[in-house]
Structure 1
Amino acid sequence: MNQNEKFQLRTETQEGRCIVYLSGELDLDSASQLRAAMAPLMELTDRELILNLRDLKYIDSTGIGIFVSVLKARHAKNAPFEVEAIPPGIRKLFDMTGITSFLTKS
C-alpha cells in the first residue's frame, strides 16, 4: 500500500460542529485508529458530529460497523450525527447495506 492509500483522519472544530475528515482506506487495520479518535467526540453532545468522507477511497465492514456504532451512541444521547461528501462507490455500498438514510440528511 502506498502512502496515499493509508488511512488518515483530521478533526476540525467549529462553533456547534465537529467535523472529522477521513481519507485513504478504512479497514480492519485502521479501525482502531478511528475508534480511538471517535470515543471522546461522541461525548460532545452539544455539537453536531460530522464525518466527511470526500477523500475516503475504501471502507470495509469493520468501518461500516464503527459508523453504525457511532450512529447508535449519538442517537441514544439525542446528539446529531451525519456523514457527508460520500464518494459514489462508498455511497453504493451504504445503499446496498441500507444505512444511507440513517447517516445522511435527506
Structure 2
Amino acid sequence: MDENKLTLRTENRDDQTIVFVGGEFDLEVASRIRSALEPLIEMTDRRLTLNLQDLKYIDSTGIGILISVVKARHSRNAPFDVEQIPSHIRKLFEMTGISPFLKSDSPL
C-alpha cells in the first residue's frame, strides 16, 4: 500500500474533533481509515467532523465507511458532519443519495 495515497490529520477544537482526509479514500486504505475513526466514533461528548477539502477520490468502499460512521454516530445520539466537500465529491454524494444524511457547511 502506498502510504502517501491517503493523508489523515486529527485536530481537537473545544468540543469538536476534526479529521482532515486528503488523497484517495478507497478499498486500499479502508482499514487505515476505520482504525483512525473507530475510537473517535465512541467519543459521544464531542462533535466529529470530517474535513474533505483535500479529498481527490472516493469509491464505494469509502462511501460505505461514511455511511457506517453516520449510522454509528446517530445510534449514539452523537453529532457528526462533513465540511469543505470538493464539488466533484459533492456530485458523487448527490448521485448515490447520501447527501441528505450528511450535515455540511456547504450545500450538497
In the other structure, the counterpart of 1:21 is 20
1:43 aligns to what?
42
Q: CA RMSD in A?
A: 1.5
* Count of aligned residue pairs for this structure pair: 104
Provide, for residues 62-100 of structure 1, a one-character-per-residue CA deviation record: whole Å limited to 9, x for no partner: 000000000000000000000111000000000001111
Aligned to 1:10: 9
Supply the AA of the counterpart residue of 1:20: V
Q: CA deviation at 1:3?
A: 7.9
Q: Which ranges in structure 2 are unaligned for 5 or more consecutive residues?
A: none
Aligned equivalent of 1:34: 33
Check if 1:101 corresponds to 2:94: no
3-state DSSP of counterpart to 2:24: strand
| Alignment partners' CA distance in 2, 1:85 and 1:94 | 13
Question: TM-score when scaled to structure 1?
Answer: 0.93
User: Residue by residue, what CA displacement relative to the aligned partner does 1:20-44 show, whole Å, maximum 9, x if unpaired?
Assistant: 0000011100111100000000000
SS at match of 2:85: coil
